[in-house]
Amino acid sequence: MHHTRLFRALIAAIVSAVAAPLGAGSGAVAATSATTASAAAASATSAYTWQNVAIGGGGFIPDIVFDTGAANIIYARTDIGGVYRWNQAGSSWTPLMDWVGQSNWGLMGAVSVAADPINTGKVWVAAGMYTNSWDPGNGAILSSPDQGTTWTVTSLPFKLGGNMPGRGMGERLAVDPNDDNILYLGAPSGHGLWRSTDGGTTWSQVTAFPNVGNYVQDSTDTTGYLSDDQGVTWVAFDKASGALGSATPTVFAGVADLQNTVYESTNGGVTWTRVAGQPTGFLAHKGEVDPTGAYLYITTSNKGGPYDGSSGDVWKYAVATGSWTRISPVPSSNTSGDYFGYSGLSIDQQHPNTIMVTGYSSWWPDTFIYRSTDGGATWKSAWNFTSYPNRADAYTLDTTSEPWLSFGTTTAEPVESPKLGWMTEGLAIDPFDSNRMFYGTGATLFGTTDLTDWDAGAKFTIAPFVSGLEETAVNALISPPSGAPLVSALADLDGFVHTSLTSVPGAMFGAPLLSTGDSLDYAELNSADMVRTGEIDKSSNPRVNRIAFSTNGGGSWAQGIEPTGVTGGGQAVISANGATALWSPAGVGVYYTANLGRKWTASTGIPAGAVLASDRVDPKEFYGYKAGTFYVSTDGGLTFTATAATGLPSTGTVYIKALPGVSGDVWLTGGAPNGTSGIWHSTNAGASFTRLAGASAAVNLGFGKAALSGGYPALYAIATVGGVQGVFRSDDEGVTWTQINDAQHQWGNIGAAITGDPRTYGRVYVGTNGRGIVYGNPT
């Protein structure tokens, strides 16, 4: 999907991460941190078992990398959720980067993966989230000797951008298939091409490489996100030009430069020249040399992707003669059919004339996947128009394992639901099994195991291959005392009612269908009553509103109207008995409703943009907070009064949580990472607060079932206790804390959502920014 989560998650990342840059400098760069090790002990620790709430995928998969040295070694890279390794025995994926924590969260941005074909235990990852100020840390090369079980981190003197424009191009990181001591890295932001000759331990810039790139998506963007130079984008070796044990002589590199996009070295990277006769006006998204060394294939687009691209071509370059041939399934000269760019590219290693490409930026009516078995002379398309608007598919799409991929939509030809995909930047044929192919989309990873049936004229089957791969960004979680154990609000996917934690949900929320879920709340005394908010493009969905109510635990929803001036979903809360609700949307102030959003009245005495909470016992009592001031309403949210509470954080992200079962018991958590941050507790409805001495900084807090019957609910906090940042539980109102995660379970940037389970003691749900929902139980 579109990464609306990018901008919301960005704010949480900046606020919650107390991160230091991972290093700076120039010239040769050495490893600056060793293989991951456990953090220092907090006041106490408790063993927990962690796993994901099953959703399956839920985000962009830029590329899939097969190790050409041994069968079934496969890696998938995500843009904000790290890297996964394929588990052949279980047909599932194993996350490899959950050790990344709050202090180095940017490393969850997986820029590129290089799998060693000589020593197949080795794998490298180029990591970093943003190249602008949003990510405070520099990029790094992660090296593993054991297929990602352990890692060594080598800091770079510049940033990398796994979630930047152009992230579908690649692979930027490549290992020499004849000498695995040699690796290349194509860098963004004008940093050029870098090389390691000691297996990734040290790196230096290739000063002879003549072009650092000049393509930017939007030069007027002052944030640096769209205006960054996308740089050197891929490296491809001609393995057949060399011999095992020596540097491969012929190497190609792609550059984000519309006039000069392919370069070649014929002496092992000593010198580089622009390849003569190459196409101009396009960026080479991918480049791959066939295993015989006869041809370099490239896929091109007029834009960097992964969203944009309105024209493109596929080319083959004869390495021996230096001649170029355009082999596009739909060439850019076809003015009626040329409206998308090409990116995904794979050569069947067992059949070098068999190649596949994708039309990644065709959003309507569907993406394009093409296959040629004669080196691009002729092509088959995965779907074709018959008599418009009807189409014929060469495949069967089986999404029974991930039924929500229909996105709750009913479509008419030529649009189908579920779709074949969008943002299909990465596609890979298994080098050991010509029948297996994987490709990434904006929402999942699809694949097939009967690909060659297509060549025989039969339909082949495509299905999701995402078991264990969880990439959602979580904005809110609730665990009501009855009904489904968990309800989620997610970036890009709206949200789910999770009737099972281990089974994939059958569908997302019903209408209104929102592009992103922002907030959730339930009525404590009648938990079937719920409210949710989210985002939607009103220009194309003018009748869809950003707030909805449910009276049956999320089984169905009815949208409310919007007050004039609303520009975003913001936050909504519902009273303890479900009779009234408050909404703090973007664009306007706080509003009150007593009829499920059919009519709204402006609340008074509370500023626009305030954070809200409802008392969990008294249906007339609501709480609000903004810029260091706490507000209380005792008339159902019609009017608010500022309390005299002092010492609260004046900046940063803050969450208010009211305790179930006790009126006036309120917790406030958060603040600025470089200012006042912590946990505050009030037992008098916010008239005054006491800061907990044990937590020196905090991000968010939630409640769960008490350890003892009738006791105070368990507290779960993402906080810093005893100098250790982690996830903690307290069974004594915050007097003492026990750390319940460990060094291998940190999940990057977390904090937008956390809640305990009111029905199961010890169980906690944690929302991540790109690793889905994780939940833990005491071991």
Which residues are annotated as catalytic? 79, 492
**Cα separation, 625 vs 630, whole angstroms:** 5
Q: What is the dihedral sign for C-alpha 74, 77, 81, 82?
A: positive
End-to-end CA distance of the chain: 36
**Cα separation, 713 vs 659, whole angstroms:** 8
Placement of tokens 């409210």 in the chain: 531
CB atoms near residue 130 (< 10 Å): 26
Rounded to 5°, the CA angle 740-745-750 comes to 90
Burial bucket for residue 377 (CB in 10 Å: 0-12, 13-18, 19+): exposed
State both tokens at 315: 């080319």
Rounded to 5°, the CA angle 59-62-66 comes to 120
CB within 8 Å of 548: residues ≥ 6 apart: 509, 512, 514, 531, 532, 533, 557, 558, 559, 560, 597
CA atoms within 13 A on the CB side of 526: 15
Length of the chain in terms of residues written? 779
Q: Give 605's strand partners.
A: none
The CA–CA distances, whole Å, from 361 to 339, 342, 380 equal 8, 7, 18
CB within 8 Å of 443: residues ≥ 6 apart: 1, 57, 58, 59, 60, 405, 421, 422, 492, 493
CB atoms near residue 585 (< 10 Å): 26
Q: What residue type is 648 in one-letter code?
A: L
Q: What residue type is 365 in one-letter code?
A: P
**Cα separation, 433 vs 209, whole angstroms:** 36
Give the CA dihedral 573, 500, 408, 3, nearest 10 degrees: 70
Q: What is the dihedral sign for C-alpha 502, 17, 744, 92?
A: positive
Closest to 440 measured CA to CA, from 27, 75, 35, 46: 75
Q: Are 90 and 122 within 8 A, CB to CB? A: no
Placement of tokens 């355009």 in the chain: 326
How far is C-alpha 503 from the chain's CA centre? 21
CB within 8 Å of 313: residues ≥ 6 apart: 279, 282, 300, 326, 328, 331, 332, 342
State both tokens at 649: 């954080």
For residue 331, say if its preceding peptide bond is cis, omega within 30 degrees of 0.
no
Q: Are 312 and 327 within 8 A, CB to CB? A: no
Q: Are 436 and 430 within 8 A, CB to CB? A: yes
Q: Are 111 and 160 within 8 A, CB to CB? A: yes
Closest to 163 measured CA to CA, from 140, 141, 191, 132: 132
Residue 379, phi then psi, degrees to nearest 5: -135, 150
Burial bucket for residue 729 (CB in 10 Å: 0-12, 13-18, 19+): buried
**Cα separation, 100 vs 110, whole angstroms:** 12
State both tokens at 98: 């959950």
